[in-house]
Amino acid sequence: MVNAFVANFKKNFIEMKRYFFDTVSSFIILFIIFYLIFFGFKIASGPNFGDTIDGIIVSYFMWIMFLASFQGVSYWIIQEAERGTLEQLFMSPVKFEFQMIFHVISDFCINVLMIVPLMYLAAFTTGRTLNFDLFTLLYLIILGSISAVGVGLILGGMALIFKKISSFIQICTFAFLAILMFEVDALWFELLPMVKATGMMRRMAVTGTNFYQFPIQDHVILWITAALFLLVGIIIFRGFEKRAMVRGTLGQY
């Protein structure tokens, strides 16, 4: 079990090193998209733009963490199916669910190490200072990403059946970008994945609010959202998994 966990970390680092050009290109694209959004909001907001900069920075990079979390699961399954190794993973002595968890954890750790410095760099290049408490930052990223993993499990389950769902994943990607960029004072909106975490991080960036200074109801909504989407994701994924096994399509692409 431990060997499988370590192997996932090594595999991710090796792939980043072997495909170094693609890794660097992805970071450049992230910055290009950020500045397109940044200057777009600047033109639209006019003289009041200074009040929204911190929110744009936080919302964008929380969206990137969301992408890394929910796309990581679905694209991993699609990639293993393309390589013809998906069925072997199901036949491995280590259960597929554990391998998926190990992959999610290793992906998350690498993404945090990469994305958090990028967020500070984006703030620096736009002339802002982000007032982040490290513990609060990690707390919000972890719980927000758990709900995103739940969405990823649903998409991963769909990938077991439909094999190629890249276009649908892209639709979800930009739909959630729009959701995370705005604040709506409604409970149903706050229960969407990553929304509450993004709102709390936005307040942390603007006012310097720490973990213990958020109202208790904010923490309750954050935990409920994370647990709810993770549970729903697991249930739906297992349903798709059983259907794929009955149909005998795990090894097909």
pLDDT in tens, 10-54: 888 888 888 889 888 888 888 888 888 777 777 766 555 455 676
Q: How many CB atoms lie within 10 A of CB 166?
A: 12
Residue 150 in any domain: the answer is yes
The torsion region of residue 193 among left (phi > 0), alpha (psi -120 to 50) and beta comes to: beta
CB 45 within 8 A of CB 52: yes
Residue 49: inside a domain, yes or no?
Answer: yes
Asked whether residue 158 is assigned to any structural domain, the reply reads yes
Residues of the chain above pLDDT 90, percent: 9
pLDDT in tens, 82-137: 777 777 887 888 888 788 888 888 888 888 888 878 877 877 777 777 666 778 88
> How many CA atoms does the CB half-sphere of 173 hold within 13 Å?
15
DSSP state of 163: S
Of 14-23, 158-167, 175-184, 236-245, the poorest mean pLDDT is in: 175-184
Report the candidate in 33, 51, 209 with the shortest Cα–Cα distance to residue 122. Answer: 33
Q: For residue 182, what are its two tokens?
A: 């705005």
The amino acid that residue 158 corresponds to is M
* Domain contains 253: no
Whether residue 219 is predicted with pLDDT greater than 80 in this model: the reply is yes
Q: Tell whether 207 is covered by a domain.
A: yes
Beta carbons of 4 and 106 less than 8 angstroms apart: no
For the chain, what is the domain count?
A: 1
Report helix angle 195-207 to 216-247, nearest 10.
140
Range of the domain at 69: 1-247
Residue 205 lies in a domain: yes
Q: pLDDT value at position 226?
A: 92
> Does residue 160 carry a pLDDT above 80?
yes
Distance, CA of 165 to CA of 168 (rounded, Å): 5
Residue 37 falls inside a structural domain: yes
Does residue 226 sit within a domain? yes
